[in-house]
Structure 1
Amino acid sequence: MNGLGESLAELGQGGAAALAAEPMQSSGGEGHTHETSCLNCGTALVGSHCHACGQAAHVHRTLGAFFHDLLHGVFHFEGKVWRTLPLLAWRPGQLTREYVDGRRASYVSPIALFLFGVFLMFAVFHATESHDEEGHAANVQGLEQNIARLEREIADLRGKQAQARASGRSSEALEDEIESRQDTLDTLRDLDANIGKGTDGASPGKVTSDFPQIDRAIRKFNANPDLATYKLQTYAYKYSWALIPISVPFLWLLFPFSRRFHLYDHTVFVTYSLCFMTLLLVVAMIGGAVGAGGLVGWLVFLPPIHMYRQLRGAYGLGRVSALFRSALLILFAGTALLMFFLMIMAQTSF
């Protein structure tokens, strides 16, 4: 948090210094151009922006304008984000319906807000988690890596044993070493084969599915949880967009064959909903980092309420219909998250 404050302070100081060195000029001062045609596409200008490509009619060539563009790009200072976030938090249905109906100039698009939320979530996660690099490095060597290493060592020892026998030398020491390593290898192979059973070995078979790649990923997750968690974080960040196409069909099931609502409506709904959930996780992580764990516990009740309000506002539902569909949506959301998790696990090679 201190680093963020320092960065903001440095940006502010830079902007102030730029204004002091080269103050912003009025429309008739230096640095303000007076074009009659667009500098980008050459179209004759009518108004403050080019009607062909959308570029601003006049270009400010000042250092102060440069820092203004920087702040604008980083913080979206034109106000869209400050109009979008309150609606996303309290009136998500209205925000969804406004965007679907075409009233978009005042709001941040759902996909832009989603990508920003994902980036922010993982940035906060890495900033607030406790790092143990030595412990992580010690766990990088997984179960299968140890098995492969022992297999190579045993093969080398057998080669040396064959050479010793060919030359008439004693190979008893090599034989004992091979037996010792073979016992260790057999133990590791048994552990790899039985991952998924209970600690007492009495639980029914290991976890299996119809997808061998998923089975392999689950076994390796159990064998090396630290490395698996690290890989999951990396792949979840890369494939976070996949939550949208995974979730949309489930939302369609709430309004099957509807002529009023289409896949586009559902996609906007899902994306804005994921934006809220992502930002809620950011708040929870920050709250946990500052010691507000008790307050963070109450945040678990917000997603169902948010889904209910968004369904009512976006689709114009009555209370009973919205409650029924909200219950189904919670179930569908859990299923979508499970599918996303399995997809990530299947894609991950430990």
Structure 2
Amino acid sequence: MVGEIEAAGEFATGALLGRAFEPHAGEGHGGGILCLNCGTALAGPHCHRCGQSGHVHRSLGAIGHEILHGVAHFEGKLWRTLPLLVWRPGELTRRYVEGERARFVSPMALFLFSIFAMFAVFSWAGISAPSEINTGSAATHIETAREGMLAERKDLVAARDTRAPGDPKRLRSEKRIAELDRVIAELPVVSKEADTHNNFNVTTRYSGWAPLDHGIEKWNKNPALMLYKLQSSSYKFSWLLIPLSLPFLWLLFAWRREFRLYDHTVFITYSIAFMSLLFIAVTIAGVLGLDSAILVPVALLIPIVHIARQLRQAYGLGWFSTIVRTAILGFFIIIVATLFLVILIALGMS
């Protein structure tokens, strides 16, 4: 029950945040004679000088009305946007870039809505970081491995000394001893002495770099909490995917002067919004019991097809150019996802 309530709250929050980023167009009310904000004579439902609506609520019930009004208008645009986003994403991107914007949900508004909706569905489906993870400290594992190898080396030395020089078994023992010596020498030196460096309190040294050692200690002490923080950070900092992706998409069209950074940003934001909605559909299908043998291949194939269609339609590419750029962009996506994960881990460790 709690998951369903949280999911409903996330959906409402996503719609309201999306609406906050969505430009108003064609949805005003009739107004008075003068604008109550700047005093300009009204010639329509909105002031042509400051943009304020001519109709101003002043009642407690108006708060709920404004919420429903904003969500309803957002959803009205949403149902005009989704079909194009799913089937003709490049056309949606091109039409929005070229100025046809009042009809569709803006990229950032749709991005915010889809991210909130995705985590709402995850909450409803019970997808979250584990609350408990039993694990020993890394220092304990290192010392256990070191002791085991030292014990093995001691036995090998004793067995070697019983063999005559040139004996094949003695040679195998000496080879294994040399290998153990190399591995033992490469193990990190673990120190239990407290160390304070640049405001990082470190009780166990792994790498010798205090900030990294401090982060490793935090993961070792409470990995469940760190996984929860990682999940929470991915939710809060999902917008970082947009600036991280922008340079890579720009590289694909660096010599095409007609395409600007704004165009690429619209492309990326709509694409991420679609992927979030796809995750929602896959999660719901999994909860409803759809066979994973069908669900997994479809979930892997759809993003590739969608990116290819969006590239071809948005940038007017031929099929060969589309396939090549889709393959390159797939490689770039792996780099962006890795950078995003590294940033989240660094944020959690700090």
Match of 2:53 in 1: 56
- Tell me if the contact between 1:94 and 1:313 (Cα under 8 Å) persists in the aligned partners: yes
Cα deviation for residue 322 of structure 1 reads 0.8
Letter in 2 for 1:229: L
- Tell me if the contact between 1:71 and 1:77 (Cα under 8 Å) persists in the aligned partners: no
Cα deviation for residue 302 of structure 1 reads 0.6
- The alignment status of 1:257 with 2:251, answered yes or no, reads no
Matches of 1:258 and 1:215, distance apart in 2: 46
- The alignment status of 1:240 with 2:234, answered yes or no, reads no
Letter in 1 for 2:246: V
- Tell me if the contact between 1:142 and 1:224 (Cα under 8 Å) persists in the aligned partners: no
Q: 1:132 to 1:259 in 2, by over 3 A?
A: closer
- The alignment status of 1:106 with 2:100, answered yes or no, reads no
Matches of 2:187 and 2:217, distance apart in 1: 9
Matches within 5 A, 1:214-229: 225-229=223-227
Match of 2:41 in 1: 44
Matches of 1:349 and 1:317, distance apart in 2: 43
Matches of 2:348 and 2:321, distance apart in 1: 40
Cα deviation for residue 57 of structure 1 reads 2.5
Matches of 1:311 and 1:117, distance apart in 2: 21
When the two chains are superposed, the root-mean-square deviation of aligned CA atoms in Å is 4.0
Q: 1:280 to 1:206 in 2, by over 3 A?
A: farther
Matches of 1:39 and 1:259, distance apart in 2: 45
Matches of 2:239 and 2:347, distance apart in 1: 15
Give the secondary-structure state (helix, strand or coil) at the position aligned to 2:37. Answer: coil
Q: 1:218 to 1:74 in 2, by over 3 A?
A: farther
Q: 1:300 to 1:132 in 2, by over 3 A?
A: closer
- Tell me if the contact between 1:214 and 1:345 (Cα under 8 Å) persists in the aligned partners: no
Matches of 1:70 and 1:119, distance apart in 2: 17
Matches within 5 A, 1:331-350: 331-349=331-349
Identify the range of structure 1 (214-223 vs 294-303) with the bigger mean alpha-carbon deviation.
214-223
- Tell me if the contact between 1:50 and 1:56 (Cα under 8 Å) persists in the aligned partners: yes
Match of 2:304 in 1: 304
Cα deviation for residue 127 of structure 1 reads 2.0
Identify the range of structure 1 (72-81 vs 337-346) with the bigger mean alpha-carbon deviation.
72-81
Q: 1:131 to 1:276 in 2, by over 3 A?
A: closer
Letter in 2 for 1:296: L
Match of 1:90 among 87, 91, 102: 87
- Tell me if the contact between 2:30 and 2:45 (Cα under 8 Å) persists in the aligned partners: no
Q: State, as a whole percentage, how many aligned pairs show the same letter.
A: 49
Q: TM-score when scaled to structure 2?
A: 0.66
Give the secondary-structure state (helix, strand or coil) at the position aligned to 1:79. Answer: helix
Structure 1 runs not aligned, ≥5 long: 12-31, 145-185, 195-200
Give the secondary-structure state (helix, strand or coil) at the position aligned to 2:252. Answer: coil
Match of 2:140 among 181, 187, 204: 187
- The alignment status of 1:143 with 2:137, answered yes or no, reads yes
Give the secondary-structure state (helix, strand or coil) at the position aligned to 1:267. Answer: helix
Q: 1:348 to 1:66 in 2, by over 3 A?
A: closer
Matches within 5 A, 1:153-172: none
Q: 1:299 to 1:33 in 2, by over 3 A?
A: closer
Matches of 2:81 and 2:123, distance apart in 1: 26
- Tell me if the contact between 2:137 and 2:220 (Cα under 8 Å) persists in the aligned partners: no
Cα deviation for residue 268 of structure 1 reads 0.9
Structure 2 runs not aligned, ≥5 long: 13-28, 148-179, 189-205
The Cα offsets for residues 266-307 of structure 1, whole Å up to 9 and x where unpaired, read as 111111111101111111122222222435322221100110
What is the count of residue pairs matched by the alignment?
Answer: 277
- The alignment status of 1:127 with 2:124, answered yes or no, reads yes
Matches of 1:269 and 1:222, distance apart in 2: 40
- Tell me if the contact between 2:38 and 2:50 (Cα under 8 Å) persists in the aligned partners: yes
- Tell me if the contact between 2:31 and 2:42 (Cα under 8 Å) persists in the aligned partners: no
Match of 1:157 in 2: none
Identify the range of structure 1 (290-299 vs 45-54) with the bigger mean alpha-carbon deviation.
290-299
Match of 1:282 in 2: 280
Cα deviation for residue 53 of structure 1 reads 2.4
Q: 1:301 to 1:221 in 2, by over 3 A?
A: farther
Cα deviation for residue 56 of structure 1 reads 2.6
